[in-house]
Amino acid sequence: MKKRNFLVGIVITFLVFSFVLPVLAQQQTQTRRHITGNAKNVTGDEHRSTVATFVQSLLNVADREKGGIGEQVRMIAQEQQQNQEKTADQIESIQKRNKIKTFLIGTDYKNVGALRSEMVQVRNRIAQLDRLVDQAATPEDKTALQAQIQTMEQEAADIDAFLKANESKFSLFGWFVKIFAK
């Protein structure tokens, strides 16, 4: 009986390695192609650079818009600057996760959730800026605000694609870990 169970275990293991792993490898290759084809590969350093440029441009607009919308634009820029480092660290943490660990228990759901939460806040800041565009005093400031809104929308879209790719990675026991991660 023990020999039979042992042989069944070996056959099942062989079948898993013969049929399931090649399919998983193909899925991961397709996911990589999807991510690199539709959005640039997001890194923490690129995010820091994009946000630093965004913040500087907003602060320039805030300096020119003294009194009116200047203070609101300055507050949005400061909020974005304060959260840039945390967001970049979360991106790097997700990227640097051990591949074997990801295969066994899934992606880093804690950092994925925190990054999703930050993306909601970024979208709220974008909406605030969108409302302020109409109140800008000069056409140059309106154009500058619209350009920065587009920049942050693109950055948010890239991070969303990054999150979707990492959430869809296959794992053997990820479903079990996900239950307790909520």
Model pLDDT for residues 151-171, shown as the tens digit of each residue = 999 999 999 999 999 888 877
pLDDT at residue 136 above 80?
A: yes
Same domain, 2 and 33: yes
Do 80 and 22 belong to one domain? no
Domain region containing 24: 1-38
127 vs 39: which has the higher pLDDT? 127
Residue 159 and residue 91 in one domain: yes
Percent of the chain scored above 90 by pLDDT? 37
Sign of CA dihedral 99, 104, 108, 109: positive
CB atoms within 10 A of CB 121: 13
Helical spans, DSSP H, in the chain: 2-15, 21-38, 44-64, 70-95, 99-105, 109-133, 139-167, 174-181
How far apart are alpha carbons 89 and 48 in whole angstroms? 10
Global pTM?
Answer: 0.70
Split into its structural domains, the chain has a count of 2
Overall average pLDDT of the 25-38 stretch: 46
pLDDT: which is higher, 13 or 160: 160
Q: Indicate whether 21 and 56 sit together in one domain.
A: no
Residue 33 has what pLDDT? 40
Q: How confident is the model at residue 177 (pLDDT cuts 50, 70, 90)?
A: low
Task: Give the model's pLDDT for residue 22.
Answer: 53
| 2 and 57 inside one domain | no
Residue whose token pair is 């020119």: 64
- pLDDT of 38 above 50: no
**How much is the pLDDT for 31?**
45
Cα distances (angstroms) measured from residue 3 to each of 91, 138, 163? 48, 83, 45
